[in-house]
Amino acid sequence: MGAVLGFDYGTRKIGVAVGQTVTGTATPLVTLPTRDESPDWTAIGRLVADWQPEAFVVGLPLEMDDTEAPVAVRARRFARQLAGRYRLPVHMADERLTTREARRQLGRDGVRDAAAVDAVAARLILETWLNDRD
């Protein structure tokens, strides 16, 4: 495999990262706003065209007790929509504590851009998936 796009799905915004299966690393790309809780499919389509991923990874919101968070239903729906639109495999990955860790990393680096948090969270989700798939 080559490039993989990772998503930190939210009802107001979606963080996106790109990763490489060869190196197991990922880079935050962008945070896309949603409109009426709907993804910006035009922007996602541009990212797919630019990066030509072989798969997608979508963060699955889980509670600390392993139950799914309320937004998990929407995240799963988004994953199904990705699969249907682009005919590529979609993997779900535990996203617990990624937003907290993204905020910690950005704060440590002096970055105060709130929109960057979701893209960094997407990077963390994607790197976890890349490293756990062995």
Q: Does this model's pTM top 0.75?
A: yes
For residue range 76-100, what is the model confidence (pLDDT) as tens digits?
A: 999 999 999 999 999 998 877 666 6
Q: Which domain holds residue 114?
A: 3-132
Q: Which of 42, 25, 21, 24 is nearest to 33 (CA)?
A: 42
Domain count, the chain: 1
The domain that holds 116 is classified in CATH as: 3.30.420.140
For residue range 18-34, what is the model confidence (pLDDT) as tens digits?
A: 999 888 889 999 999 99
Strands (DSSP E) contained in the chain are 3-8, 13-20, 25-33, 55-60, 90-94
Q: What are phi and psi for residue 19, nearest 5 degrees? A: -135, 165
